[in-house]
Structure 1
Amino acid sequence: MAGTEPESASFPRPRRGPEPQRLLTILLGDYWYWRPEPLPSRALVALLAEFEITTVSARAALRRLAERGLVRRTQIGRTTSYGAPTRSTEEIVTRLKELFAADDEEPWDRRWTGVAFSVPEDDRDSRRNLRDDLRLLGFGPVFDALWVHARDRRREAAAVLDRHHVSTSGVFHTEIEGMPGEDIVARAFDLAPAEHRYRRFIEIYEPIRQRMHGGEIAPREALRVRTEMSARWRQAELVDPRLPRELAPAAWPRDAARDCFVDIYDTLGPLAAGRFRQVVAETDTGLAELATFHTFLSVRDLPADGVPPRAEETAHERATRDRNARALRRPGRDDN
């Protein structure tokens, strides 16, 4: 599997690569899974250098993540280190499980989760923020104040309504009579952005997949490919309502894109983790030995009760939700 580093590696990078803060959270989630030990800033800066992130930009990203509460900063002597707070780590685990979820494979029971609400017309910010959060959950509007999801999302919907202090509202889970499922999909969901991103994902990564199985990917490229691929997959998932197969369009490209993603993610795991350890070892060999990596099965098989419920949002949850909401308002930014 291991290969020699090519003279001019062809990395599948979008024109606007993942921002340093996003790269750091992916790296910590993938290779520093639930570790209590913080990593020296020097090691984290070196890891970002693998993605052509300058030292100045890397240190600025670390400061911003610390200011937002997404990483914790520790100082021992002259060494500054950063690690993920426990509750942020729990949220990262939840996001990983969502990233690998395959709930579109479950048979559809023909029931919809519906959210009906009323927000004063003059409170435009509240209406916009509520709609953003519902859309991030995969809901779509059948009517202006009636949003639906093809799976049971009552708990998540109630949490959103509670977070936005919407008292005039209702959540239900039932079949909808008088409107066929395909008509509801056509009315509530714009599937074009997700289809475009999935097809673009296949276009970029299927050739990488072939090179990988030919043994042409070396550790340094493996770390970059696997990490940047995860960021791109998150962007595709962001605009996908994850409809059941019974409601998905013909020739829907998600399965092919997901097969490619899982194959590359799992196969490159050992090589990418090896490169992660090499980079960290330049600063601390003991810490380097603690690095590990996920596979599709290892994430899927995490116990459902491994992440305890939280009454309040963590800083990581809040920052992720706000970032994703901004991305939804700027369609096309990550489509290249």
Structure 2
Amino acid sequence: MTTADGATEEEPRSTRPRAFIVTIYGLYAREAGGWISVSALIQLMDRLKIDAPSARSAISRLKRRGLLEARKVGGSAGYSLSEQARGILDEGDQRIFGRPRAELADGWLLAVFSVPESQRQQRHVLRSRLSWLGFGTVASGVWIAPRHLRRETEEVLERYELSGFVDLFDADYPAPGNVAELAGRWWDLEGLQKLYGEFLDSFDPVLARWVSGAEGGDGEAFDDYVRALTAWRRLPFLDPGLPPELLPGDWNGVRAAALFDELRGRLTEPAHRFASSVMGGVTA
């Protein structure tokens, strides 16, 4: 899930057509055999105010990246998720919908790595994967994360054939106060705090509208839920899940997570009804 989707730099990533398509496939395609017809996908994107040319362009980019594969089902043209895309979405579910927050007593996991210059592309992939897992940077070649991420880290390193470059160490630090200060250097908590605030600013009014009884129908639920999930799903990948003791006192990540959970609870069912009505029950 990269940012090179053809949008302008000023346009938020969460409003880009390709991001919406990834969300739609993650929510509704897997239960339909991983396939959605082109006509249904265009209709769903239209509900999100994305015109057909923009939607088709985004589909083409996802196809070029190997995430979507062209297929016909029952005579209808459409696109299926590739095995790579299924793996990405399955991994993402764990992070987006319920990754636990660490406790201070858990300790830490250090990743110490060295990648030869001749394999610089692997170095880029390694850093990207460690960042995706929630590691912060202590020094060049030394990254840190809560210890409970060891198993997930081992699995990801193995999957991407990166294990040979990395040594993992369990670690403890005896002075929590100092760790709290260092955490602000190892991770961009200030930037993450800002992103959580933007999510709250955008979707507090959405929840208030549904709570007040002024909500619309299934189509509006689909619109609101896809937008909320698309905006939310990158935040768990930026948040290392640090223990509360190490977070700033005004940390708004907990409130943002509660807001997303309530929106999810209210909108999942009507949004699913709308998507199913458009997709027409056709499965691969």
- When residues 76 and 134 of structure 1 are mapped into structure 2, their CA distance, relative to the original with a 3 A threshold, is closer
1:83 has 2:80 as partner: yes
Per the alignment, residue 137 of structure 2 pairs with: 141
Per the alignment, residue 65 of structure 2 pairs with: 68
Per the alignment, residue 249 of structure 1 pairs with: 248
Select 1:56's aligned residue among 53, 57, 60: 53
User: Would the aligned equivalents of 1:72 and 1:82 in 2 still touch at CA under 8 Å?
Assistant: yes
- When residues 164 and 78 of structure 1 are mapped into structure 2, their CA distance, relative to the original with a 3 A threshold, is closer
1:140-185 per-position Cα deviation (integer Å, ceiling 9, x unaligned): 1222222110233334444566646574642111213578422431
**Aligned Cα root-mean-square deviation (Å):** 2.8
1:77-116 per-position Cα deviation (integer Å, ceiling 9, x unaligned): 7521223245633542331221022411x53324100011
Alignment of 1:136-285 (within 5 A): 136-158=132-154, 163=160, 165=162, 167=164, 169-177=166-174, 180-218=178-216, 219-280=218-279, 284=280
1:10-65 per-position Cα deviation (integer Å, ceiling 9, x unaligned): xxxx7665322221121122123433263221111111111122212222322333
Select 1:32's aligned residue among 18, 29, 33: 29
User: Would the aligned equivalents of 1:115 and 1:157 in 2 still touch at CA under 8 Å?
Assistant: no
Unaligned runs of 5+ in 1: 1-13, 291-336
User: 2:91 aligns to what SS in structure 1?
Assistant: helix
Distance 1:52 1:242 in 2: 34
User: Would the aligned equivalents of 1:194 and 1:240 in 2 still touch at CA under 8 Å?
Assistant: yes
Per the alignment, residue 8 of structure 1 pairs with: none
User: Would the aligned equivalents of 1:154 and 1:172 in 2 still touch at CA under 8 Å?
Assistant: no
User: Would the aligned equivalents of 1:119 and 1:166 in 2 still touch at CA under 8 Å?
Assistant: no
Aligned-partner residue type, residue 230 of structure 1: L
Structure with more of its chain in helix, by fraction:
2
Aligned-partner residue type, residue 206 of structure 2: I
1:111 has 2:107 as partner: yes
Alignment of 1:301-312 (within 5 A): none
User: 2:246 aligns to what SS in structure 1?
Assistant: coil
User: 2:233 aligns to what SS in structure 1?
Assistant: helix
Distance 1:37 1:144 in 2: 40
User: Would the aligned equivalents of 2:136 and 2:145 in 1 still touch at CA under 8 Å?
Assistant: yes
Distance 1:268 1:274 in 2: 10
State the TM-score, normalized to the length of structure 2.
0.82
Cα offset for 1:230? 0.9
Distance 2:45 2:57 in 1: 12
Aligned-partner residue type, residue 128 of structure 2: D
Distance 1:28 1:119 in 2: 35
Aligned-partner residue type, residue 207 of structure 1: P
Select 1:46's aligned residue among 15, 39, 43: 43
Distance 2:155 2:35 in 1: 32
User: 1:170 aligns to what SS in structure 2?
Assistant: strand
Q: Percent identity?
A: 26
Per the alignment, residue 322 of structure 1 pairs with: none
- When residues 118 and 217 of structure 1 are mapped into structure 2, their CA distance, relative to the original with a 3 A threshold, is same
Aligned-partner residue type, residue 191 of structure 1: L
Cα offset for 1:228? 1.1
User: 2:167 aligns to what SS in structure 1?
Assistant: strand
State the TM-score, normalized to the length of structure 1.
0.70
Per the alignment, residue 306 of structure 1 pairs with: none
User: Would the aligned equivalents of 2:136 and 2:143 in 1 still touch at CA under 8 Å?
Assistant: yes
Unaligned runs of 5+ in 2: 1-10
Cα offset for 1:73? 2.0
Q: Give aligned pairs, total.
A: 270
Distance 2:225 2:255 in 1: 17
- When residues 228 and 193 of structure 1 are mapped into structure 2, their CA distance, relative to the original with a 3 A threshold, is same
- When residues 217 and 69 of structure 1 are mapped into structure 2, their CA distance, relative to the original with a 3 A threshold, is same
Cα offset for 1:197? 0.7
Higher mean displacement: 166-175 or 154-163: 154-163
Distance 1:75 1:33 in 2: 16
Higher mean displacement: 136-145 or 155-164: 155-164
Distance 1:47 1:60 in 2: 15
